[in-house]
Amino acid sequence: MKIPFNKPFQTGLELSYIEDAIQRGHLSGNGYYTQKCQQYFQEKYQFGRCFLTSSCTDALEMAAILLDIQEGDEVIVPSFTFVSTANAFALRGAKIVFVDSQEDYPNMDVDLLEELITPKTKAIVAVHYGGYPCEMERISALANQYGLMVIEDAAQAIDSYYLERPLGSWGHMACFSFHETKNIQCGEGGMLVVNDLKLVNRAEIIWEKGTNRSSFLKGEVGKYTWVDLGSSFLPSELNAAYLFAQLESLEKIQTRREAIWLSYFNFFQSQSTRDSILPIAYLENLLVFDFQVMSLNNQANSHLFYLLFENESSRKAYIQKLDESGIMAVFHYQSLHKSDFSKRYFPDQYQRKLPNADRFSGTLLRLPLFYELPELLGN
């Protein structure tokens, strides 16, 4: 039995909705299914204006344009994150200032943020790793104190909550991913949420390649033209139709993922020798396993399950044993402050010591977690 790291789930309605989109005769972006998906998020989570994009990377790049990032501006970003989180702002000329992770979880350490703020700081990008919420109340208060913008990188955080508020509703903007590895997916896709209503009109222009096409389609102008920066950020109606089928099954998908997550948690809590293909004998160097505080304050979405090993060599040994058992497991991000790009363009950041980000980079291991995962754990 070969078990992949991920297998995209299909609800069974994707093809029929795609066929319906074809029959409607509108295959480019911002049609019937795009509107239905955006309306779903706005109504279910009380988000501001939602804009479907071709990827979360596109959503982040839209956010960077909306912030009017200029050369010399500084943006605070966790070192332990995907490259798109930082790249979107570096593309606009920003200096990326990296913040370390918490000691006990990969999210940014909010205690370290204030010392990184300078007169050049323009924004804080809060990444909700694994769908587990950053301390958004504290981040928002700090941003208000210093007049900064907050962008939530909620790529992994659909249907997660903090203090009973959905992630994606806290920041001035938020970015989601619908990549095939996410809980809800359409192969490739994303979404920008604009909660600051002052930014909505310009976001619509940027989304439409820098034109006022939306105003033209609403009859507000007689013709449309180039009025601002922008790009081709819209996904096709085929992607949106696929995504809407997923959204209709959100509760079912989330319930199944939570059950799998809890199976992992219970298994490693007991480290049972019952019938399982997870090689228990090679866990002596395991330090901790993933945790989620399922409470009103922190409601995570069972996006991933990780193990944390004593060192990189013990992680490598366990990856090898899993591979021999037919299980694909992967490690995650490499510290961005230690990247070749940072060494060339942000040498002062490359020199900094961010021990927690480096520790997670070297010792964290993600296990398979997808809807159709077989019963590995003997449950």
How far apart are alpha carbons 158 and 361 in whole angstroms? 24
How many CA within 13 A on the CB side of residue 260? 23
Is the backbone of residue 262 left (phi > 0), alpha (psi -120 to 50) or beta? alpha
Of 271, 269, 270, give the one whose Cα is nearest residue 281: 271
H/E element, 161? strand 161-162
H/E element, 60? helix 56-66
Assess whether 182 carries a catalytic annotation: yes
The CB density around residue 255, as the number of other CB atoms within 10 Å, is 10
How far from 202 is each of 67, 144, 199, 205, 235, CA to CA, in Å?
A: 10, 22, 6, 5, 19
Of 96, 94, 161, give the one whose Cα is nearest residue 134: 161
How far apart are alpha carbons 278 and 307 in whole angstroms? 13
Q: Which two tokens stand for residue 172?
A: 């001035």
Helices 83-90 & 56-66, crossing angle to 10 degrees? 30
Q: Which of 182, 209, 316, 343 is catalytic?
A: 182
**Active centre residues (catalytic):** 182
